[in-house]
Amino acid sequence: MRGHRPQGVPNPARWQGNLSEALPKPGKVAPVVNHRAVPYKEMPELMAQLGTHEGVGVKGLQFAILTAARRGEVLGARWDEIDFDAAMWTVPAERMKGRREHRVPLARHVIELLKALYTEDGTPYVFVGPRTGAQLSETALAEALRRAGRSETVHGLRSSFSDWAHESTSFSNHEIELSLAHTVGNAVEKAYRRGDMLDRRGAS
């Protein structure tokens, strides 16, 4: 506070109760545009197509699809986050959008994908870029998706996972949202439900 407003006087720029009464809702001014997603029933065809391509970008895209992870989480993945014995990828809080550690159980074919990757001495990143010591570029996953003949977005693949999980599995909405590393529930629920339901999420 810089002394421009007396102590205890409500902030006139506060949205709720002030600006919300005078201005339209943000969503009406700038409607939310969803990322284009691959229909989940076409995902096997996409994975088969990717299997005919080579390159670190392709492997990174396959990994993103199989883990439902965000692009930045995949590009920044480090080998010290991967536990092969436990079949687990643990993304530290500082790399997560919600600033909370996220654990991802890894299926057998994901482990096989990782073990087949090219590695570079002195480079900590799982998906190495063209420059020594660097991670894969920001555009590499999108380029791999384009080469596979798709016009959707990489982020939209998370929606593909959500659609598949809601329509084709018995997982609860809570389990699905946790798999996507989304914040679930109100403040009270978040205070009391601190687990990540890893056993259930890994059951697939």
Q: pTM value?
A: 0.77
Query: Within a domain: residue 62?
Result: yes
- Model confidence at 167, in pLDDT bands (50, 70, 90)? very high
User: Which residues have C-beta within 8 Å of that of residue 134, sequence separation ≥ 6?
Assistant: 123, 125, 128
Q: Spell out where 11-126 has E strands.
A: 82-83, 88-91, 102-105
Q: Which of 39-53, 59-73, 190-204 has the lowest mean pLDDT?
A: 190-204
178 lies in a domain? yes
In whole angstroms, what is the distance from residue 121 CA to residue 76 CA? Answer: 17
29 is a domain residue: no
Q: How many domains does the chain have?
A: 1
Q: Active-site residue among 146, 182, 190, 193?
A: 182
- Which CATH number does the domain housing residue 144 bear? 1.10.443.10
**Catalytic annotation, pick one of 40, 59, 70, 71:** 70
**Structural domain includes residue 28:** no
Domain-embedded: residue 19: no
Catalytic residue among 35, 41, 97, 115: 97
Residue 60 placed within a domain: yes
What residues make up the domain containing 176? 40-199
For the residues 133-141, what does the mean pLDDT come to? 94
pLDDT of residue 199: 64
Q: How far apart are CA 196 and CA 188, in angstroms?
A: 16
pLDDT digits (tens, 9 = 90+) for 13-60: 665 555 556 666 665 655 555 779 999 999 999 999 999 999 999 999
